[in-house]
């Protein structure tokens, strides 16, 4: 209930009518505010979902009005800093040195090489690498 209309025939005094209306208004406003809070919480939960975050990211990338003058390289620099660029450079360097290694030229091998480079060179403040033998830190 968000709105209540009261028509009274049984209550004799105006004071009793006012008190009754105040009580009804109090309970309906509490109920509607709790419903709004619940709706806002569900929207926040939905926005944290991976698919919703990815859709919003795609919308930001494809929106021509906001980022029409931003080059793709700058977008990746803002998103990944130089880590992805460094990983791709490292892959190209290994491919040029190891021409005989066909695993570096397949899609699966290229993705694997880039992923391992990123995991090995995590930026400060990211998850602790398991390979390093460091103890996990509390943030």
Q: For residue range 67-122, what is the model confidence (pLDDT) as tens digits?
A: 566 666 666 666 667 787 788 888 999 888 988 888 888 889 888 998 898 888 87
Q: Is 49 helix (H, G, I), strand (E, B) or coil?
A: coil
Do residue 48 and residue 91 come from a single domain?
no
Q: Is pLDDT above 60 for 132?
A: no
Do residue 59 and residue 86 come from a single domain?
no
Q: Is 18 helix (H, G, I), strand (E, B) or coil?
A: helix
Do residue 53 and residue 74 come from a single domain?
no
Mean pLDDT of the chain: 76
Tell me, yes or no, whether 137 lies in a domain.
Answer: no
Do residue 59 and residue 80 come from a single domain?
no
Question: What pLDDT band is residue 36 in, cutting at 50, 70 and 90?
Answer: very high
Tell me, yes or no, whether 136 lies in a domain.
Answer: no
pTM over 0.75: no
Domain count, the chain: 2
In Å, how far are 78, 95, 97, 119 from 106, measured between CA atoms?
28, 11, 16, 20
Please check whether residue 117 is in contact with residue 84, taking contact to mean a CB–CB distance below 8 angstroms. Answer: no
Take residue 77 and report the two structure tokens written for it: 């620099």
Take residue 24 and report the two structure tokens written for it: 């009804």
Cα(84)–Cα(50) distance, integer angstroms: 21
What pLDDT was estimated at residue 41?
A: 92
Tell me, yes or no, whether 57 lies in a domain.
Answer: yes
Please check whether residue 109 is in contact with residue 103, taking contact to mean a CB–CB distance below 8 angstroms. Answer: yes
105 is in which domain, residue-wise? 70-120
Do residue 52 and residue 78 come from a single domain?
no
Q: Is pLDDT above 80 for 138?
A: no
Do residue 59 and residue 84 come from a single domain?
no
């Amino acid at each position: 209930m968000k709105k209540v209309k009261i028509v009274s025939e049984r209550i004799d005094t105006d004071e009793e009518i006012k008190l009754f209306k105040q009580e009804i208004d109090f309970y309906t406003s509490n109920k509607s505010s709790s419903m709004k809070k619940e709706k806002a919480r569900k929207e926040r939960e939905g926005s944290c979902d991976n698919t919703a975050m990815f859709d919003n990211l795609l919308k930001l990338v494809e929106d021509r009005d906001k980022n029409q003058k931003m080059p793709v390289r700058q977008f990746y620099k803002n998103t990944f800093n130089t880590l992805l660029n460094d990983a791709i450079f490292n892959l190209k360097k290994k491919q040029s040195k190891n021409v005989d290694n066909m695993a570096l030229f397949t899609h699966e091998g290229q993705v694997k090489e880039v992923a391992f480079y990123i995991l090995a060179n995590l930026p400060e403040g990211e998850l602790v690498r398991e390979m390093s033998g460091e103890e996990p830190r509390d943030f």
